[in-house]
Structure 1
Amino acid sequence: MSVQESTFHGFANPVDPSPAELRAWAYQPDSVPLASMPPDWDLLVSGDRLVLTLFELAMDPTCPARRFALHCLYIYAADGIRTNFRAHPKRRFRKLVEQAERDGDELMKIWAHNGRVLLARPDLFTYRDWCEGGLVRENRRLG
């Protein structure tokens, strides 16, 4: 039985979901609407513990919560770059970018491109674009 076939019944602790819970929710996001999550839930889940799960979800064009996962990857990238990689390991970020460039579709290639641009030009950071979903909604490449 796959994650998509199982029924998701909610998070044991929504502030600190497990990778399995996040994955199960992502394939049935209407089971627990985002509006019912704690404030700034996107910021809470965008850390090292869940980044590989978020990346996997963002890489899956069939995932119903793909845009949310991609949004979280933008937060993760910005958080790492803006803290000079004190918040997240630079090596992990680079590996994700390289994998997105190699195996991702256009959305993931744009995320990788934007991550590389921000890495080279941290002054291009705007909270709206990176943390409030602007780059996901507009699906644009930074210059």
Structure 2
Amino acid sequence: MGVEQSGFAGFANPVDPSPTELRAWAYQPDSVPLQSMPQDWDLLVAGDRLVGSLFELAMDRNCPARRFALHCLYIYAADGIRTNFRAHPKRRLRKLVEQAERAGDEPMVNWAHNCRMLLAKPHLFVYHDWCEGGLVRSGRRLA
């Protein structure tokens, strides 16, 4: 019935997946292993076109690719903040942060907190933490 139950046949264009393809893959991530994706696939999908889907996946505690989606949200936020919102709209990030604070669990609330900290203190940006999954793996809140 839902995306979760249907089979995933793969991406028509893995460099530019559709939101539907991304969601289908996220519930069956072993169908196309991350190692087989194009280099820096996380950076490719962490853009405005897919951020809504990534946010939904990161909010879903039952999504098998949740950590990947959260990792992409960290990339998205850092890219927006570090470019003074030339890369992504500030309003969109602010709405996602507020929604995560209202309805998210600990990993999502931590993401929202860390986004607010980076906004206030851009010197807290460390590439490993924001773009290579360090904050996702550690669950750390920036101070």
TM range (shorter): over 0.9
Letter in 1 for 2:127: Y
Match of 2:116 in 1: 116
Give 3-state SS (helix, strand or coil) of 2:118's partner: helix
Output aligned runs, 1:1-143, within 5 Å.
1-143=1-143
AA at the equivalent of 1:103: A
- Work out the CA distance in 2 between the residues paired with 1:15 and 1:122: 30
Partner-residue secondary structure (3-state), 2:78: helix
Distance 2:48 2:12 in 1: 19
**SS, match of residue 63 in structure 2:** coil
> 1:87, CA displacement in angstroms?
0.1
Q: C-alpha deviations, 1:58-107, integer Å up to 9, x for none?
A: 00000000000000000000000000000000000000000000000011
Q: Distance in 2 between matches of 1:137 and 1:105?
A: 16
Instruction: Return the offset for 1:7.
Output: 0.1
| Pairwise CA RMSD | 0.2
Q: Which amino acid aligns with 1:105?
A: D
CA deviation string 1:111-131 (max 9, x = no partner): 000000000001100000000
**SS of aligned partner of 1:94:** helix
Q: Which runs of 5+ in 2 are unaligned?
A: none
1:34-72 Cα deviation digits (max 9, x unpaired): 000000000000000000000000000000000000000
The CA distance in 2 between the partners of 1:126 and 1:110, in whole Å, is: 16
Which consecutive aligned stretches of 4+ in structure 1 deviate over 6 angstroms post-superposition?
A: none
Q: CA deviation at 1:142?
A: 0.1
- The CA deviation at 1:14 is 0.1
Q: Distance in 2 between matches of 1:4 and 1:53?
A: 14
SS of residue paired to 1:141? coil
Question: TM-score under structure 2 normalisation?
Answer: 1.00
Gaps of at least 5 residues in structure 1 are none
